[in-house]
A and B are shown apart, each in its own frame.
Chain A
Amino acid sequence: MNDIVIDVRGLRKTYKSYRKAAGFVGSVRSIFWREAVMTEAVQGMDFSVRKGELVGFLGPNGAGKTTVLKMLSGILYPTSGEATVLGYKPWERNAEFQKRFAIVMGQKSQLWWDLPAMESFLLNKEIYEIPDRTYKESLEELTTLLDIKGLLDVPVRKLSLGERMKAELVASLLHRPEVLFLDEPTIGLDVSSQLAIRQFLLRYNHENETTILLTSHYMEDVVALCKRIIVINKGEKVYDGSLEEMVRETSDHKVLTVTFTEAVERKSFELLGRVMEYNPQRVVLHVPRAESKQVAAKMLTEMPVDDVLIDEPDIEDVVRKVFKETGREGLRKYES
């Protein structure tokens, strides 16, 4: 059990915000009295992460993912509960701890806007006390992997969003942290940048055994990167396990996509499964798992089939279903 890097028990975060009525009268009233609203951003969460794992936090907006990351990086104090990262309590902000982790936030940058990224790297070198040789090696390795060597002398504000995120990653990894937190790293990026960053993270995690915790609401990020996902909804953990298992547990069906060489009548399919899409030469059926192979076999023998595809349900649909079902009165169906 001693390669557990992140350990979270009963973590809870509640905070207060204020309501204000619209218009001028409401504003005047708000000077004297405001209605306080207590929000439970995170409700009693438990999980642990082993060294080298790449875990994805999945959840709708406002689910509490970013709040969890902020607590694990020491930015916020929990209302109650415990968490340790690398054996430290993050919110004690021990300098030794801070030198061993890094956080990247998708929509905010630690790079200085008007200056070339290189300047920010050098500043980080001082802040993290990175020895010259380690710095040179890390810089070389990271800028090669991310392919931004030529961009280091360009002011950050002139870089595209994708290039900026890559520079951000370099800045965060120069000190070779053992733990990396990523909050929506691919948000707003074009498809090729997203792909490049995913590939980079996979490779980096594989080569350095860095423990990575990633939040995203892009399914592609999660599918590509994370063997293990934790689904959070309304501040609660509703699933912790592998993606495939979640798909299997939540969906009782498989998707059969069949194309034909001749037209086939719709009513031929009605007994086989649920028809989702139909045109005379192509049908998409939802078939119960246990029967999928039989149905496929039957169709192959009895119908003029051109091509058959048996697939898992679309992950987005699965996830959406999980969100919907667990949002309702804490219906927790998916315990790991």
Chain B
Amino acid sequence: MKLSAHKLRRYAWIWRRAVAMHFGTLVTSRSDFVFFFLGKMVRMCFFFVFFISIFAVAPTVVGYSKGEVLLFFATMNLIDVLIQISWYRGFFLLPRMVRDGDFDFMLTKPVSPLFMIAFHIFDFLDLTTLPVAIGFLWYAFSLLPSLGAVAWIGYVIFLMNALALAFALNMTLAALTFRTVQTGNLWGVFRDLMYILRFPPEIFPRGVQFFLTFVVPMLVIVAFPVKAAIGRLPLAVGVYGLAISALALVLASKFWHRGLRAYSSASS
């Protein structure tokens, strides 16, 4: 896909319009906001109780201080919220769109189907949890000694890297829809793996850590930004983290396009 300023502006317009439209559909269900938010808050409270009681008895966990462990959780939380807000819903609902036949329209319009699928749903429900996620993150940083500029830059870079990698993984999952009948529970697997990432990777045996870094690079998503911030990320490993995201994006893109071909060849 060729990129140009004009194209970017046009896609930005389309995205803004889609978001505005989605906001329109959500204003109808205010109770949803409230309950959803409350549910998440209850979960957070439980988590805090858990966290505090653990650190009341244990000074460090697998060699990380209280603030550092909290940083893992807060970072994961933020990434999770950002993913949910942006493309997660769009990709997740792709199987339903295909089943209902609404996906076909995406193929006949002069816009990239990938863009429309990923971004035509803007999850306002999760937007409510963004301030809390940021607050949580701020609190975690306040428990740590102040970070130098390099650490901050590292954190931000690997945070964006994490989003890119997550996008590639979600795109791949969505592309599977074009070949299998139902992928609903693969998404469940993804969510569960994201759940694991909340914790410092050192709780896993070395073999699993290796697997989750180099084979299914989920650890790149949370562990790398945090480790970069606290100075425990070796340069070579960091470079690998960036490279693997780039590779994942390329592969995911190929997989997506192959998937579209399969859809157009195999359906009726």
Contacts and interface: CB of A to CB of B under 8 A. Distances in A.
A114 B26 CA distance: 9
B100 interface: yes
Nearest to B109: A127
Interface in A161-181: none
B25 A70 contact: no
B74 to A, nearest CB: 35
A77 B109 contact: no
A313 B186 CA distance: 58
A308 B39 CA distance: 78
A294 B261 CA distance: 62
Nearest to A70: B104
Contacts of B13: 126
A13 B268 contact: yes
B10 A129 contact: yes
A105 B268 contact: no
Interface in B1-44: 10, 13-14, 17-18, 21, 24-25, 28
Interface in A8-31: 13, 15-16
A122 B17 contact: yes
B101 A108 contact: yes
B108 A112 contact: no
A119 B24 CA distance: 10
Contact of B21 (A95, A123, A128): A123
A231 to B, nearest CB: 20
Main secondary structure of the interface of B (DSSP, over half): helix
B118 to A, nearest CB: 15
A214 to B, nearest CB: 16
B146 interface: no
A41 B104 contact: no
A98 interface: yes
Contacts of B104: 70, 75, 105, 108
B110 A99 contact: yes
Contacts of B107: 73-75, 93
B102 A127 contact: no
B45 interface: no
A55 B25 CA distance: 39
A16 B266 contact: yes
Contact of A98 (B109, B265, B268): B109
A160 interface: no
B115 to A, nearest CB: 10
Contacts of A98: 108-110
Nearest to A18: B181
A54 interface: no
B20 to A, nearest CB: 8
A121 to B, nearest CB: 11
B62 interface: no
Contacts of B111: 127
Contacts of B14: 123, 126-127
Contacts, number: 79
A105 to B, nearest CB: 7
| Interface size of A as a range | 35 or more
Interface string B243-268: 00000000000000000010011111
A77 B24 contact: no
Interface string A91-122: 10101101101110101111011110001101
A67 interface: yes
Contact of A15 (B17, B18, B24, B267): B267
Interface string A205-244: 0000000000000000000000000000000000000000
B46 interface: no
A105 B102 CA distance: 10
Q: Which of A75, A98, A113 has the most CB of B within 10 A?
A: A75
A76 B21 contact: no
A113 B25 CA distance: 9
A311 to B, nearest CB: 39
A39 interface: yes
A297 to B, nearest CB: 54
Interface in B88-123: 100-102, 104-105, 107-111
A75 B28 CA distance: 34
Contacts of A41: 268
A108 B105 contact: yes
Contacts of B17: 122-123, 126
Given A74-B107, A126-B14, A127-B109, A112 B25 contact: yes
A76 B267 contact: yes
B21 A119 contact: yes
A103 B25 CA distance: 25
Contacts of A128: 109-110
Contact of A108 (B18, B100, B261): B100
A74 B18 contact: no
A15 B110 contact: no
Q: Which 9 A-B pairs have the closest CB atoms?
A: A98-B110, A95-B110, A114-B25, A77-B264, A110-B105, A77-B265, A126-B14, A75-B104, A108-B101
29 contacts: A15-B266, A15-B267, A39-B268, A41-B268, A70-B104, A73-B107, A74-B108, A75-B108, A75-B264, A76-B264, A76-B265, A76-B268, A95-B110, A98-B108, A98-B109, A98-B110, A102-B108, A103-B105, A105-B104, A108-B105, A109-B102, A114-B24, A115-B21, A120-B21, A126-B17, A127-B14, A127-B110, A128-B109, A129-B110
